[in-house]
Structure formats: C-alpha cells, structure tokens
Structure 1
Amino acid sequence: MPATQRQPGLAPSLLLLTAIAFAIVYGIVVAGLPTELVLITLGAAATLFSLLHGGTWEGVMDIMGAKVKTALSALLVLYSIGIIIGSWMISGTIPYFIYHGLELIDPRYLYVMAFLGTAIVSTFTGTSWGSAGTLGVAIMGIAAAMDINLAITAGAVLSGAYFGDKLSPLSDTTIMASMVVGEDLYRHIRNLMYTSLPAALVAAVVYLMLGLNMELGAGMPAAIAASANTLDGLYRLNPLLLLPVAIVLYGSIRKKPTLVVLFLASACAALLAVVVQGASLEAVAQAAVSGFNVSLLTSFNPGLDVSTLPAALASLLNRGGLYSMHGAVLFALCAFFFASALEASGILKVVLDRSLAYVRSARGTILASLAASCTIILATGNSYVTFFLTRELFAEQYQKRRLHPLVLSRSMEDGGMIPEPLAPWTVSAIYMAGTLGVATLDYAPWALFNYLGIVFSILLAMIGPWTGWYGVRRLAATESAPCEPAASTREAPRPTQ
C-alpha cells in the first residue's frame, strides 16, 4: 500500500467483501449478466474504496501490471492452444483420437475414462493444462460426437487433470507448496494422499454411476458408427498423426519451455496436414489463425460437398485458431483488474488478520488456513501468491498448535490450488473453459475432485480429536517446524501449469 493509504476498518471491509460476494453470485449465476461486466463494475467499486482510504489509481495499475507480467506466459500459452487445436484439426490428429475413441469406448464409461485418462497423463507430465489441452480436447470431441453431456465430461477431465497435477513430483505447484514450508517433496506428496485418494475414489465412483445410469438412445450406436465412418472418409488416419501429441508429452515430462514445445507440436501438425492429408499451406495457415472450418476439407478433398456433412459433426470440427482465444484473454484482463483492485483495497488482509485472533485450537487453525487459502486463490487467481501468503499468515499459528508443516502444505494445495478453476475469473478457469469449450459455471458442479479435496481436509480436521488425529500429523514435544526451505527443494521451479 502507498504510505498515504489508511488501513480500512473491519466493519467496512466486511461490508464490501460481503457485497462483492453477493454481487458475483447474483450477477453471474442468478441474473446471468456478462461476467466481464460484473468484474469491471466490482473492480471499480473496490478501486473507489481504495481511493477513499488514501490509495491511488497508479497503485491499482501497478498491481495489475505485476499480475499481467506474472500471467503473460499463461496468456501466450492460451493463444498457443488455440493454434494447436486448429492445426491438429486440419492435420487429423484430433479426429484420429475421436475416430478410435468412437470405435473403442463404451459411452457409459466415458466419464470415468475421462477422469482416469487425464489423471494418468497429468501424473506423468505434471501439468493439468497440458493434460486438458491434449487428451482432454480429444475426449471432449468424443463426447460431442456421441452426444454425451459435455458439462459432466469437462468436469471429469478437469478432475483427472488436477488429481494428477497435485500428486506429480513434476508439478510446479506441488514443488512450490513443499518448498514454501521447507518440507521434502515426496513426504509432501505422501501426506497429500490422505485427502486426495478418498476424493479421487468418490469422484471415480460418481462418474461411473453417472455413466451407467445414462439413458442411451436407441439410435446412438448407429449414430456413433456413422460419425466414425464419416471421419474415416474425410481424413487419412494413421499413427503418424500422433507425433504432435508425442512432442507435447515429451516436452512436458522433460520440462522444456512450454511455448517452444507447443510451437513445435503445431509446426509438426502443419507438416502432417500438408504431407499426410495433402492440405494447402493457405488452408493450414487459416486453420491455425482463424480456426478450422469444414470448408477447409475441400483443400484435400476436392469433390467433397461440405453442406452434406451432419451439422453435429461440423460443429465438432469447427474450432480452434489464434483468434478464438481473444475473448478469453479479454476476460483475463477484466479478472486481473478486479483482483488488483481487491488487493489494493486491503480488505482481505484486514478480515483475515482479524479472523486469526479467534482461532484457538488445532482444528480451528486447519479450518482457518483452508478458508484463507481458498479466499486468496479466488481473489488473486495465483497459487504461488496464495502459498506464500498462507504460510506468512499461519506458520506461527501451526507451530503454536503443534501441527506439522506438512499439514499446512496440504491445506495450501487443497484450499489454494485445486479450487482455482471453479471461479470463472481466474486464469485457470479461463484456460479450461476456452480449451474444453464449456463455460466454467457449467462444468464446475461436475469437477468433483476440485472441491472434494477440501471437503476431506475439513473432515479430517473435524474428527481429529476422536480419531487420534488420523491423517493430521502433529509435532513431537521436542520437534520444531523448519524455518527455511529444505535443501532438496530450495530451488524455485520454473512457472508452468
């Protein structure tokens, strides 16, 4: 805060925070107003509050500039995903996945397979974004071709992607959470199992039951076979089309620069479109920039009449491109303005600091840290900031209540990482909605793992006094919490998703 800015009182801070929460719920969920308009309006209100307490407009812009600088790589990745989807469509890479998915996957098991498949990819690559942007996009295409609920499918993709990301030793957020509290990475991951495995098991069972109870139309098998046959006739499908996917997976596992990996994957897909499909360079460029359209199929299927293609199939294929991400980036800028104004107002710090005065037990400390982590991530949209702020707020309190730092690092991930894509103004939500083609508020109720983790964290804390604190590690009488990052995790990881 500027030296001239006064710290707001508790009452006005609570009043403004409550009003903002109500306006978000009513404006976006109930009234259905454009989210961008709601965020800009609330950002203006928070800015005015800051100015009335001695803040400056330049202060808000400085904070926003820092957020944009931090998220610049993510925004460029967002544009790169648009290019990848367009180039992978014209090359036949995504249609290749869809074709074999239609042939091999029973519609009743699609939800649970979406969850398990993305979980495996995320675990081996350490990236929820990469998992959703590759396998997730293909699964969404299969669901669309099968006429299966896209919101549930997107929720399952998101759940699996974040489950794998959370438990992967290659994940930047998992590394950072352990580093912030000064604990060994693998001990941190083992401690995450107490909440992550039950949450994943419940999610998998629910997805399985949803699929088994799905009502399949009598004509669905025939429609699925027809879609597969149509795709086979539109593209030359062969295993070479998996090369772009292999590039992304290899680059993710080896932690190569994300933008470079995505560019190489797009270039490979463009080459395959020309060599394998016989597409023209002009058509490939149009697919990458403006997005793929079925009319581009005539560049390598001269006799094709695109007007005869089923409308559902055309809608499935018509997607991607650099321009398709403009809306998501504009949304991100609106979200940054809102988060910056909220941070500049100082109301979150006032409310959180005052709330800690009422925390007098181990159970209350865990619950308060979960609530604080969730509040900070939804306000800032930055898991790194959330981890550091939560540690600053609660490290001493955890030490006082004889709670091990591993419990704090787990609370930071359960409350301050996996709920992020559930709020439509965060960068992760913007990315997932743009990549999967489903609005955040539509997939959020079905992203079961993303809120079951915090549910099981709350449950372990609530029943701790009666279970001997099962799953909640306590400090021994002679043990103290580490003050510095552990040697094995002291180096900060390169920011990726």
Structure 2
Amino acid sequence: MENREKKKIGFLMAILPLIIMIIVMLFTVVKLEQGPHMPLIIGTTVAALVAWRYGFTWKEIEEMMFKGIKLALPAVVIIMLVGMTIGSWMGGGIVATMIYYGLQIITPGWFLVAITIICAIVSLAIGSSWSTMGTIGVAGMGIGLSMGIPAGMVAGAIISGSYFGDKMSPLSDTTNLASGLTGTDLFDHIKHMLYTTIPGLLIALGVYTFLGRRFAGGNIDLEKIQQTASVLKDSFLISPWLLLVPLAVIVMVAMKVPAVPALVVGIILGFISQIFIQGGSLADSIVALQSGFAIETGNEMVDGLFNGGGLDSMMYTVSMTIVAMTFGGILEYSGMLQSIMNQLLKVVKSSFTLITSTIGACVLTNATCAEQYISIVVPSRMFTKVYKKMGLHSKNLSRALEDGGTLTSVFIPWNTCGVFILGTLGVGVAQYGPYAILNLFIPFISILYAATGFTIVKLTKEEIEKAESETEAEEEDKSIEAVHV
C-alpha cells in the first residue's frame, strides 16, 4: 500500500469527481431542496477513489484533505468571529442604532444606490468584503427589508459595494495576493483594474437607480417604516454614540490592524454595550456571543431581524467550508485540477483566448475548490509563463485573476464566499445572484476588452528580453538539478 506506483491522472478521470458532484448537487439542492454538504462529501469520496486508483495511498489522500482544510482555516476563524460580532452588536443595540438612523435619512427610492456606495467606501477603507458585509451589510439588510425591498436586491447591492472595495483596496488580501503572485506592482495592478471595475460600478449604480424607482413614493408603506423605527426605539437604547463601535473597527483595519484583532475589539465593545448601555445581564451577553441574540417585540419583522447571530449560527457555514476544502484539497494536490486546467491551455492562441481561459479557469477553480484564494493561486501558477511567452504584461494576468476569481466566488453556493453570505445576510445565491450586478458584469467587461484589445498592455522589447533570459536561467537550473539527481 505504501509503495504503490503513482500515475498521472488524465483529463476524463480528473473531471469525473467534478461531474458527479455537480449532478448530485443539482439534484440535492434543486430537486430535494437540501444543503450542499452531502454532494460535496460524495464528490470528495469519488475524488479519493480516483486518487487511490492512480497510486496514491490513503495516508497521502488524508494529507491532501488536511492541506485543503488548512488553507481555509483563516477564513473559518473570521467566519466564527463575524458570528460573534453579529451577536454582540445585536445585543448591544449597535445594529439597531444603524438601522434606526438609516431609516431616518435614506429614502426607499435611493436605498439600493446608497447602500452600494456606503459598502464600497467602507470596504475600500478596510479592504475586506466579509467584514463589511458582516457589519454594515447586516444593518443594510435590516433597513432594506424594513422598507419593503426584496432581500435579494438588498443583498445584491451590499455585495456589489463590498466587492468593489475588496477588489480595489491596497489593504485587501486578494488584491495583494493577485499582484504578488504575478510579480505585478500593487498600485499598477489597482490602476489597471480601474478600467473594468469603474464601468462595473457605474452599471451597478445605474441598475439600482432603475430598480429603486419602483420603491419610491406611494409604493412604500411609510407607516410600516415608522412603526419599525418606533419598535426599535422601544426595544433598545438608541444612541449615536453606539456608532463609534463600527467606526472603531473600520478605523483599526484602515490603520492596517489585522482583521482578527479588529473584530475581537468589535466583539468586546458590543459585549460591553449590551451590559452597560442596554442593561443586559452577563449571562445574556455570553448567550448572545454563543447562541445569538434573542428578543420578542411582537413585531414580526424586527424579531426576524434581531433573533440571530452568535458562534452557533456560523457552524453550518464552517462545516460546509471544511467539507468543500477536503474536496478541493484532493483535486489540487493529486494533480486532477492541473489536468483539467491543461485542457484549457490547449485552446490558447491569442490574448483573447488567453484572458478568457484565465477567467474560465478562475471560475472553474471557484466551483471545484470552493475558495476564492485558490481561484487566484492555482491559475496564477499555470498562466504566468504563458503571458510572458505571448508578450503580455503581468498586470493583464493579475486583473483577469481578480475579475474571474475574486468576483465570481459569490455565485458558487458551496464556495466559502457563497456560504458566508448565506450565513451572514441570510440570503442564498439564487436570490441575490441576479442583483449582484458589479460581480456579474465585470468578468464580461474583461472578456470584451480582451476581444477588442482595449487596455491590454504588451511587454516592451526590453521586458521581453528580460523574461526570456529569466526563463533560460530557470531551465538551466532545472537541467543542473536533473544531472545531480
């Protein structure tokens, strides 16, 4: 068992676990209306059997799964902290305060535009779509639903704004990852993304302006909005001072304090607010962190908004993340994903097919490995040399990685981003997908540019010569290593 000869896994066998997983996923989620955990476990089982059939031992397969899970551990920690943040901010009256003042100053007709811009500014400042959605986004959902706007529309606007900042902020992990892996200057990378991201944001704002018209004027029950605001004021101590809590978190992250300690400070401040401002007991405050906040106001909408959060509320998301990463780990480390990607490389004949293939590879990796970081890491490994060989600047690759990887992760229900949004905003891909306009349009804008050649930057003669010399040096090093072996 330990000395089995390993064979390269061909394309048909490599794609088999993915095909089976997708078929089972569609049947389970669409037909049976169940969660995606079991299809992912079935996909993992098939992938393990294929890997074993091609010479990998069970110990090696276990290591692949553990490596996949390890990649998701930072995301798991943040998911759990966000759950605790929501619980403490619910109990501390922080979310209620944001919703209350939001109902006073934002008109229904312009709400979708306003929440998109607010989320864009916050995520640009802190560099995190998840932190933005888990804080400002939760309050935005409450305001939008109180105004009678469908949950999918509200979530789509929040996602669009949050991912604008996540994509464009120099503090964003995905932005730094894409530029670092491709050897592109960070600010060159950001400037190059402006060509696709700004049009995407303008399209999104245009769509939200059009959609918002139906909620303006007489279509909104203003009495219901005022009733909701009144219930909030009766149930919580509303104070503008409580707005300092989310502001503190935003400032800390903007000052390059890592997300984990920043969220911990937010949790502590929310915990203190529940005890000393809202008058809750120590036991109730601990319960809010663990099991979520609970309240009975007699108002169905308010009760629906504020009964939630807590560490326990994120365990569904955590379990799905772990299961998804076991599947992705086997595909990645057994070479199956590489075999699938190699087929994509066969169709690359021009800058158009290269950039389109890069975006396609990112989408495929998001679906198979269920993690947006891997959707940047794996295609960057594959395509870096191809871009150099075709005389294209690395910032074309770094932009394609973000356009295809960072943004499309929200459309995969079992991706860590999809499950995070479901757990945080309470809305699934089927509802918010059509309204996440920025995420939806930017990949197509990127492909359109590739087809027309607009903003596609080529290497200079000196840069091409430098790239060729580096390639020759790498090949020489490999030859020397081979001789020594």
* Greater alpha carbon shift after TM alignment, 401-410 vs 333-342: 333-342
- Asked whether the 8 Å contact 2:21–2:42 carries over to 1, the reply is no
Q: Does 1:435 align with 2:424?
A: yes
Number of aligned positions between the proteins: 467
Contact 2:68 2:326 in 1 (8 A): no
Structure 2 residue 336 is the aligned partner of structure 1 residue 336: no
SS class of match (2:13) = helix
Determine if contact 2:103/2:143 at 8 Å carries over to the other structure.
yes
Question: Corresponding residue for 2:406?
Answer: 417
1:49 CA displacement: 1.7
| Residues 385-423 of structure 1, C-alpha deviations (whole Å, 9 max, x = no match) | 333332332222212222111101111111121111221
Secondary structure of the residue aligned to 1:137 is helix
TM-score, normalising length from structure 2?
0.90
Structure 1 match to 2:224: 223
Letter of the structure 1 residue corresponding to residue 423 of structure 2: G
CA contact (8 A) 2:108 2:220 kept: no
Instruction: Write the distance in 1 (CA, Å) between the matches of 2:376 and 2:324.
Output: 20
C-alpha distance in 2, partners of 1:218/1:418?
A: 33
Please state how far the C-alpha of 1:154 moved relative to its aligned partner: 0.8
Alignment partner of 1:374 is 2:358: no
- CA distance 1:26–1:454, change in 2 (3 Å): farther
* Structure 2 residue aligned with 1:232: 233
1:2/1:59 contact within 8 Å kept: no
- Structure 1 residues 175-186: aligned runs within 5 Å: 175-186=176-187
Residues 1:257 and 1:125: Cα distance change in structure 2 (over 3 Å): closer
Name 1:321's counterpart in structure 2: 310
Quickly say closer, same or farther: Cα 1:140–1:478, change in 2 above 3 A: same
Deviations 1:274-333 (A, max 9, x none): 2222222222122222211115xxxxxxxxxx4xx2122211111111211121111212
The equivalent residue for 2:396 is: 407
Match of 2:483? none
CA distance in 1, matches of 2:326, 2:69: 10
How much does 1:216 deviate? 7.1
Residue aligning to 1:46: 47
Q: Which residue of 1 aligns with 2:478?
A: none
**Residue in 2 that maps onto 1:299:** none
SS at match of 2:303: helix
Q: Structure 2 matches for 1:270-289, cutoff 5 A?
A: 270-289=271-290
The match for 1:249 is 250
| Identity in percent | 32
Q: Match of 2:352, as an amino acid? A: R
Name the counterpart of 2:175: 174
Sort the Cα spacing of 1:177 and 1:2 in 2 relative to 1 into closer, same or farther, 3 A. Answer: farther
Distance 1:70 1:408 in 2: 23
CA contact 2:18–2:368 (8 Å) conserved in 1: no
Distance 1:90 1:17 in 2: 43
- Contact 2:83–2:310 (8 Å) recurs in 1: yes
Query: For residues 215 and 275 of structure 2, what CA distance do their matches in structure 1 show?
Result: 40
Return the offset for 1:382: 3.7
Bigger mean CA offset, 452-461 vs 260-269: 260-269
- 2:282 partner amino acid: L
C-alpha distance in 2 between matches for 1:482 and 1:136: 46
Q: Distance in 1 between matches of 2:302 and 2:374?
A: 43
Contact (CA 8 Å) 2:20, 2:43: kept in 1 or not?
Answer: no
CA shift for structure 1 position 226: 0.9
Q: Does the residue aligned with 1:294 lie in a helix, a strand or coil?
A: coil
Report the aligned-residue RMSD. 2.3
Letter matched to residue 253 of structure 1:
A
Unaligned runs of 5+ in 1: 296-305, 485-497
Shift of 1:5: 2.5
Deviation at 1:71, TM superposition (A): 2.1
Report the CA distance shift for 1:354/1:340 in structure 2 as closer, same or farther (over 3 A).
Answer: same
**Cα offset for 1:170?**
1.2
Q: Is contact 2:67-2:329 (8 Å) kept?
A: no
Q: Where does structure 2 lack aligned partners over 5 or more consecutive residues?
A: 471-485
Instruction: Please name the residue that 1:480 is paired with.
Output: 464
TM-score for the superposition, normalised by structure 1: 0.88
